[in-house]
Amino acid sequence: MAEYKLFSYFAEKESQIYMLIQLGYDIIFDIPRPAPFVAMLNVHPSRVKDLESPDDLKIESATDFENYTDSFGNRCCCFVAQPGVLRLTNSTLIRDSGEPDPVARWAREVPVQYLPKNALQYLLNSRYCEVDRLSNTAAQLFGGIAPGWNRVQAVCTWVHNRVTFGYQYANPQKTALDVYNDGLGVCRDFQHLAITICRALNIPARYATGYLGDIGVPASPVPMDFSAWFEVYLEDRWWPFDARHNHPRIGRILMALGRDASDVALTTSFGAANLRQFHVVTDEVFKQVAAFA
């Protein structure tokens, strides 16, 4: 077998300016009877080094706390919510480069046989991503485009143009095939469709969730929410892409990674839990001159 060599032309540059971003949430549930919960509300371990203040989940009306790391490397907290009001809150500061998402048009696709073994799972079917049912479509639409960064970008642009965004289209049962057929969805639906097409083209793709504020773009008229995007493996690393917004954004703060949205639910209750309040904060605080790698 011929050797496949990877050449990474991307290097982190020392920056003289960094941005501080205020992160936080205030989530309230009504709990009719004791219910075990799993919360995935912490900043991802890969961004912990950037925190300027503690990233502590505060839980009111719960017992039996236990923190752990799941099989995808996400930080989780398991607890039992007691009857009454359950309130989950946090407020922290994180340092960010203040630069838009990287663009690396030179980045190549990696033949399947040379992929890291832990990337192979991101080529397969998952709960919301029916790779087998969209493989012919992916080949017809994108098989003629040269492999690499530009093909992934073509997938994002196609999904962005095909799917209409609207919170009224939210449906937790909707899969990538459903989105392909009806052309309607919320943030996660754009990503599921793009992920599925990338996997059908033998490009590893995984689902990401986290904070994405209106930094460097016009403020959205709707209340702030958590966001979804996806990552693909090209050249020798994972790169962020966003089929909903379809342009590089500033201040993307990762919380969790998985095969699709089913792996990274921000809260999962094993019993009745009625959402009463959902408030998210992602605000630029200020930029400061400093040298860091």
Residue 9 predicted with pLDDT over 60: no
CA distance 186 to 184: 7
Tell me what percent of the residues of the chain surpass a pLDDT of 90: 87
Backbone angles phi, psi at 230, to 5 degrees: -145, 165
Q: Which residue matches tokens 């009877």?
A: 33
* pLDDT tens readout for residues 41-98: 999 999 999 999 999 999 998 778 899 999 999 999 999 999 999 999 999 999 999 9
The pLDDT of residue 258 is 98
* pLDDT tens readout for residues 227-243: 999 999 999 999 999 99
Which pLDDT band holds residue 286 (cuts at 50, 70, 90)? Answer: confident
Which pLDDT band holds residue 290 (cuts at 50, 70, 90)? Answer: low
Q: Give the β-pairing of 62-69 and 184-185.
A: unpaired
Residue 15 predicted with pLDDT over 80: no
Q: In the chain, what are the domain boundaries?
A: 18-95+267-287, 112-250
Q: Report the chain's mean pLDDT, rounded to a whole number.
A: 92
Alpha-carbon separation of residue 159 from 92, 165, 183, 187, 224 (angstroms) = 34, 11, 9, 11, 23
The pLDDT of residue 262 is 97
- Report the Cα–Cα distance between both ends of the chain, in Å, rounded: 38
CA distance 7 to 104: 12
Q: Could you tell me which residue, 293 or 44, shows the higher pLDDT? A: 44
pLDDT, average across residues 177-199: 98
The pLDDT of residue 13 is 44
Residue 203 predicted with pLDDT over 90: yes
The pLDDT of residue 213 is 94
Q: Could you tell me which residue, 81 or 10, shows the higher pLDDT? A: 81
Residue 122 predicted with pLDDT over 60: yes
Residue 179 predicted with pLDDT over 90: yes
Partners of 77 in the beta sheet?
39, 67
Which pLDDT band holds residue 289 (cuts at 50, 70, 90)? Answer: low
Residue 285 predicted with pLDDT over 50: yes
18-95+267-287: CATH topology: Immunoglobulin-like (2.60.40)
3-class DSSP assignment, residue 218: coil
Residues in the chain: 293
Q: Which CATH class is domain 112-250?
A: alpha beta
291: CB partners within 8 A, 6+ apart: 14, 15, 16
